[in-house]
Structure 1
Amino acid sequence: MSAPLATRAERFAKGKSLRKLTPRAAHGKLVGPMDRDANAILEAQNATRLPGLIPVRRQLMAENPFAYLRGAAAVMAHDLQWQPMAGSPVQACGDCHLMNFGAFATPEDNILFDINDFDETLPGVDFTVDVKRLAASVAVAAADKKLSKSERHTLAAAAVRAYRKRMEHLSYMSPLEIWHSQIDLEREAKKFRNAPLRRKIATVMARARGEGLDKDDNFPTLAESGAPVIHDKAPRIFHFAAGSDAARGFDPQTDLPPYRDLLPGAVQTLLDRYALRDFVFKAVGVGSVGTYCYVGLFMSGDDEPLFLQMKEANHSVLEALDGKLAYSGHQGQRVVDGQRMMQAASDIFLAWAEHQATGRQYYVRLLKNRVLGGVSEIAEAEGLADYARLCGRTLARAHARSGDPAVISGYLGDSEAFDEAIADFALAYEQQTEIDHEAWKAALPPSP
């Protein structure tokens, strides 16, 4: 018989005792050397990226401080290594900002809200790392909308408060109940105080069910006649010539069969009912632009499409937090394992692959239209508080699957001490992001 596990009360007490080592107020300051060369950290990532897309990444990050923050996960991970930690590890998202959440339609036609990007996910990371990046993104988004310092602080604190309250609720649930918990977007939207956002959520949910994909410039569309091929939408989606830089990253003929073998038998049978008909390069996100990423068009015998995405997986930027966090296995498997751990309903095609000629590592997933990115843009303008709270609640649910919600809740407590401290940090990091963004723009090569 196994030894009895600690009770909820004992784990809560353990979390509370962690405050003696790291008081909650300690999280309120941005500490460490801020004279680091943020540009150098970002440019170092370009060494393995597609050269032709590096200027696109630079320009995207130059648009505004929020776009810069999105692309600068490596910089923030570098900065977070100096910040105090609470001492309660989770499977971290690693790039937890407002635009990395999305809507997904389940087979039962429910629309779930969840974390959408796991490129930087890593196990064994303190829960405060994700919370701080989320709160900072709220502050930066609020500053972009010209909100006052007081308003920015209030919004960042609201996101953290939502995280704390949901974590407390989860701490009273059984592990199995936590595992099966979900964020139903339709139900959550009814709680939104912002009426325009509630109305626009209805449009988002319709698109998450597959309606209106042809209106998304970043989602592949097919030619209207002739052989089924994906339309080029340069510079984001394009076909490439044999021998080009893009062609040297992945070979579907040799690299996809090992991926298929990793799928469960039932999913292999499903995939075998489709055949690969087209293959293109597809740049994604902001921070990922230039990494090797492809989309395969698979068609059934009756010309019904299936899109699979092969996205390059490099080492997580969170390894900068501590050398002990270094992940030595397949980086694609790291992403897959992290997504399955954090996301309420991962897709059935999720697995990893490798380009045999170069050793580049990938994860493969069903390509979904990231329509909820539009919601976060809407929310930044007219419903940021509602959206920020929703992201906070969602992050708590994701963390509770791998971490101990009773320990985390014990540390967070009933007061607003943690909320206020993280909001203070968020405002400090928002100011640092402004500085880094200006330095990034100043270093851009002149336009041709």
Structure 2
Amino acid sequence: MTRTTTRTTTPLAAVDGAGLTRAERTERGKAARTRVPRSSHAAWTRDGPGPLELLAGQDASRVPELVPIRYGRMAVTPFTYFRGAALPMAADLAGTPVTGFTVQACGDAHLMNFGLYASPERRLVFDINDFDETLPGPWEWDVKRLAASVEVAGRDNGDTGRQRTTAVLAAVGEYRRALREFAASTALEVWYAHADVETVRALYAGELTAGRRRRLDRTVAKARGADHTGSLRRFAVADGGRMRIVPDEPRIIPLDRVAGGGVDPAETAERLDAILQAYRRSLEPERRALLDRYAVADMALKVVGVGSVGTRCWMILLLGNDEHDPLFLQAKEAGESVLERFAGPSRFGNAGQRVVVGQRLMQTVSDIFLGWVRVRGFDERTRDFYLRQLRDWKGSAAVSGMRPEGLAAYARLCGWTLARAHARSGDCVAIAAYLGSSPVFDHAIRDFATAAADQNERDHGALRAAIDEGRIATRDG
């Protein structure tokens, strides 16, 4: 005889689905199929400002000299354009059907925003690794952006329509399957679920041919080499008895060249100290003690990513016992999430805190130096930043040129990872019940991804035309 348990306790916080029994959450998910048929997710709409207008609106808050680099990187291929066009896609997604189930959304869940990094226990784990746009929002938006990125990447690689369909269905199907698995798990089991390198090998043993195992091993070895000592060799040099960051303009701009030069060294040192003291207060006490073992040696402005180009991103070199004991931190500017104008404003007044809290919610393990700060810049404007280690066993898959079967396997891993991230913060029971065991949703998202990739090609063409006509300036870098 089956006994139905009724929850009589009061949930500690207003998490979606909290306070409901498993049966009630399941019914909630199934009922959503009437309001929002799973097949309706194939729809693609665009009603509002054009993508170039939206991108231009972001330029106003960025470093003017770096904005042409952003457009230069986006113009290379439709896939590089897609990576930089999170805001235009968020605007398009805002008009698509949603069930109303909220998760901590990544906001920019494309293939290149997943990768390897070191856990505090010094194990290589695979997870989402970019949270600049994170915000509570519809789970569907992340799934659709991920699926569209698979389709766009497949087109860039010259894959056939059948091969691209296989890869998209692999990502979405694995998301659906994993959500059902997490829905049957306890809350703690969901929270502890992770994908380290050994787990990835076990999960996909049947798909890892000898060639794929070799590629995975090379990626792992490269990631392990991306540590602070490797960063010191790559980015710094001894100069006059002290270590300094080597300029590589326009990618790495030394402090004395920022804001046109003429920055007073004493004022710089004072501001750096104030920044690190404020950042230090966002860390846990034991991590403050670790940070206190280091002192600032140098700082430079660094150009990163595609969509992030133009935002202020500082690389900070700190030294511990000697020049063989480096710590590289990255302080990246955080602004309004691209989702905020469509999903509502963040509850955090500091955008850096928004990023950090979202990252900790979505990732199984996070950087021990992850923190946030608000500072007054050299232009006297107040800005929010989040800080983390610059390179700590970080690695990513080479999606460009990836073979079709490899893309499908990688897309599947990303689908699993996104499902785990959503299950940590949302009602995975309701979402899993909504998705069900049939591939109806998968095929709808495949159609959506095709329409999104078609539009992405048109938008990339519009950007190239604007560049050719001289309406948008570009710069190498």
Q: TM-score, normalised by structure 1?
A: 0.93
CA RMSD of aligned residues (A): 2.4
8 Å contact 2:52–2:463 — kept in the other structure? yes
Q: Structure 1 residue 437: deviation in Å? A: 0.1
Q: Do structure 1's residue 202 and structure 2's residue 202 form an aligned pair?
A: no
* 1:102-128 CA distance string (max 9 Å, x none): 1012243321100000000001x1100
Q: Structure 1 residue 379: deviation in Å? A: 3.6
> Which residue number in structure 2 is paired with residue 20 of structure 1?
34
Structure 2: distance between partners of 1:442 and 1:378 = 26
**Residue 224 to residue 167, structure 1, CA distance change in 2 (3 Å):** same
> Which residue number in structure 2 is paired with residue 139 of structure 1?
151
8 Å contact 2:104–2:361 — kept in the other structure? yes
- Amino-acid identity (%): 44
> Which structure 1 residue ranges, 5 or more long, are not aligned?
none
Q: Structure 1 residue 54: deviation in Å? A: 1.0
- Secondary structure at the residue paired with 1:173? coil
Q: 1:115 aligns with which of 121, 128, 134?
A: 128
Q: Structure 1 residue 41: deviation in Å? A: 0.6
> Which residue number in structure 1 is paired with residue 3 of structure 2?
none
Structure 1: distance between partners of 2:231 and 2:169 = 33
Structure 1: distance between partners of 2:228 and 2:402 = 21
Partner amino acid, structure 1, of 2:196: D
Q: Structure 1 residue 211: deviation in Å? A: 5.3
> Which residue number in structure 1 is paired with residue 413 of structure 2?
390
Q: 1:408 aligns with which of 431, 439, 444?
A: 431
Structure 2: distance between partners of 1:290 and 1:380 = 32
1:196-275 counterparts in 2 under 5 A? 196-210=211-225, 221-223=235-237, 226-241=241-256, 244=259, 251-275=271-295
> Which residue number in structure 2 is paired with residue 59 of structure 1?
72
8 Å contact 1:297–1:306 — kept in the other structure? yes
Q: 2:375 aligns with which of 347, 355, 363?
A: 355
8 Å contact 2:118–2:392 — kept in the other structure? no
8 Å contact 2:157–2:402 — kept in the other structure? no
Greater mean deviation of Cα atoms: 236-245 or 392-401: 236-245
Q: Do structure 1's residue 160 and structure 2's residue 172 form an aligned pair?
A: yes
**Residue 273 to residue 14, structure 1, CA distance change in 2 (3 Å):** same
> Which structure 2 residue ranges, 5 or more long, are not aligned?
1-7, 12-18
1:25-174 counterparts in 2 under 5 A? 25-33=39-47, 36-123=49-136, 125-174=137-186
- Secondary structure at the residue paired with 1:203? helix
Q: Structure 1 residue 283: deviation in Å? A: 1.1
**Residue 273 to residue 443, structure 1, CA distance change in 2 (3 Å):** same
**Residue 52 to residue 242, structure 1, CA distance change in 2 (3 Å):** closer
Runs of 4+ in 1 over 6 A off after TM superposition: 212-217
Structure 2: distance between partners of 1:399 and 1:440 = 33
Aligned length: 443
8 Å contact 1:101–1:372 — kept in the other structure? no
Partner amino acid, structure 2, of 1:169: E
1:255-404 counterparts in 2 under 5 A? 255-303=275-323, 304-322=325-343, 324-327=344-347, 329-356=349-376, 357-368=380-391, 371-377=394-400, 379=402, 383-404=406-427
Q: TM-score, normalised by structure 2?
A: 0.87
Q: Structure 1 residue 8: deviation in Å? A: 2.1
- Secondary structure at the residue paired with 2:121? coil
8 Å contact 2:111–2:146 — kept in the other structure? yes
Structure 2: distance between partners of 1:378 and 1:272 = 44
- Secondary structure at the residue paired with 2:414? helix
**Residue 421 to residue 153, structure 1, CA distance change in 2 (3 Å):** same
Structure 2: distance between partners of 1:145 and 1:8 = 43
Structure 1: distance between partners of 2:21 and 2:45 = 36
Partner amino acid, structure 2, of 1:310: A
Larger Rg, first or second structure (1 or 2): 2
> Which residue number in structure 2 is paired with residue 2 of structure 1?
9
